[in-house]
Structure 1
């Protein structure tokens, strides 16, 4: 047998072994003080297995591994599955990078300050009129993205931000996520102001940028690290369309949502093109 890797989380090791088994790469697991060792039974297929090892190390929590375990349903009685098991909070932190967590914390703090009665909106909302657009308070192009008005509004946006922002930050780095955040806040906010005025807020436009970006980059590079299922992309398209229909009320920043999605698609297409010509 050939040793593939050692994993300190027994559940992850079993999921990976089950996934390899679903691809015809039979593996054995052994446990020691250093962790769970994954052994490949057929050494003639080492090259194939090493490709899967590299992919696993890049995204160990990808659903493909859990799905393989669910289908297999054959736990190893010799393995202690509590060894090295990550708690839900640890998995939450593993998925998100520092910028992802910082933005979440900022949104939560600002929402809390608004909840206790502080007039945060007056200081951070968009410029109230066209004459002040060229003023020195340049932060007002960005800061409306961090303002939320209801708990559901906040939770919905932060869930998407954690999922997509964490994905982008882990794969492409904090600088790329920061660029998407700044562009995805400033341009949609300006578009929304020009159409509907200054009374809006929320991270939704930035989330739509990330949806469009990740989906388009995945389409340009089907074998790349960033992928978004077509179903989730279609969900966001339908959500934007419902917003324009008025079924969700008249206080949605629909122009910001749509412009954010378009910006994300264009950015993903341009980055995909650069990767293709590199």
Structure 2
């Protein structure tokens, strides 16, 4: 995250925050003592954000009026976005690509290609040897889903959590999270139960762990999760260790993914703190 502005003027900050958000710039506001700080969530918007702030400072009323006129002049602004448009707005490129891959593999697993596909995507052909000569297998079990409910549950949470994470931090960060959580959760599950498992749940719980840490006590953060949702995810995790669920659950992958996500979330908070400190010292 990048600090854009510091002020004591709450009304101006409120207007500027709204102005930038309406222009599609991902920003958030935090309090530091008696100061309000405007932070840019995704660094790729830095140049646009600075230009818009300069425009707003030069003539706040004019900038807001121009934005309002543009909104009224655009026919699309008068239309309610379709469900597909709303879903696409909630995700980034990597989120979409991986969801499509998971969907394609699920469709193929319900054809005559199911067995050769599973044999090539499972983590290993052995119960004891990790696939060091075929490293993609550390990741590919995340593409395997064996029931409609399993598939829908994981794709939904991947889109919800992964999409928000990618929109906030960028595709590179999501790729790192995907690989780290997938490899750790898949290896841990393999060591416990062998190669006959699959699913994106370890990554989903990893993204959940990241969201809990980076947005903890930060309700304005784009990854902030309500306490009810956090409770649901934890209860579902614990239920997997009982005999109450009607499906087989890769519990180790879930728990390992969550642990990996918590660690990544802490790392992101540390990086944000370092960047914030360096920015404060440089200003």
Normalising by structure 2, we get a TM-score of 0.70
Partner residue of 2:262? Answer: 265
For residues 32-86 of structure 1, give each alpha carbon's deviation from its aligned partner in whole angstroms, at most 9, with x where no partner exists: xxxxxxxxxxxx94443222333554569xxxxxxxxxxxxxxxxxx99982321
Q: Is the 8 A contact 2:124 2:131 kept in 1?
A: no
Structure with larger RCO (C-alpha < 8 A, sep 6+)? 2
Pick from 63, 86, 90 the counterpart of residue 91 of structure 1: 86
Distance 1:223 1:82 in 2: 25
Q: Is the 8 A contact 2:26 2:168 kept in 1?
A: no
Distance 1:203 1:178 in 2: 14
Q: Does 1:189 align with 2:155?
A: no
Q: Does 1:238 align with 2:235?
A: yes
Distance 2:83 2:122 in 1: 35
Pick from 99, 109, 112 the counterpart of residue 114 of structure 1: 109
Following TM superposition, where does structure 1 have runs of at least 4 consecutive aligned residues deviating by more than 6 angstroms?
79-82
Partner residue of 1:159? Answer: 156
Q: Secondary structure at the match of 1:210?
A: helix
Normalising by structure 1, we get a TM-score of 0.72
Q: Does 1:49 align with 2:44?
A: no
113 and 52 in structure 1: CA distance in 2 versus 1, 3 angstrom threshold: same
Distance 2:131 2:155 in 1: 30
199 and 233 in structure 1: CA distance in 2 versus 1, 3 angstrom threshold: same
- 1:183, CA displacement in angstroms? 0.8
Distance 2:124 2:142 in 1: 13
For residues 185-214 of structure 1, give each alpha carbon's deviation from its aligned partner in whole angstroms, at most 9, with x where no partner exists: 111000001111111100011000000101
Distance 1:47 1:206 in 2: 37
Distance 1:231 1:47 in 2: 31
Q: Which runs of 5+ in 1 are unaligned?
A: 1-43, 61-78
Distance 1:88 1:110 in 2: 24
Stretch moving more, 117-126 or 242-251: 242-251
Distance 2:78 2:145 in 1: 40
Distance 1:243 1:137 in 2: 30
Q: Is the 8 A contact 1:215 1:229 kept in 2?
A: no
Distance 1:152 1:250 in 2: 10
Partner residue of 2:68? Answer: none
Q: Is the 8 A contact 1:188 1:259 kept in 2?
A: yes
223 and 95 in structure 1: CA distance in 2 versus 1, 3 angstrom threshold: closer
Q: Is the 8 A contact 2:157 2:204 kept in 1?
A: yes
Q: Which runs of 5+ in 2 are unaligned?
A: 1-9, 28-71, 276-283
Q: Is the 8 A contact 2:124 2:195 kept in 1?
A: yes
Partner residue of 2:146? Answer: 149
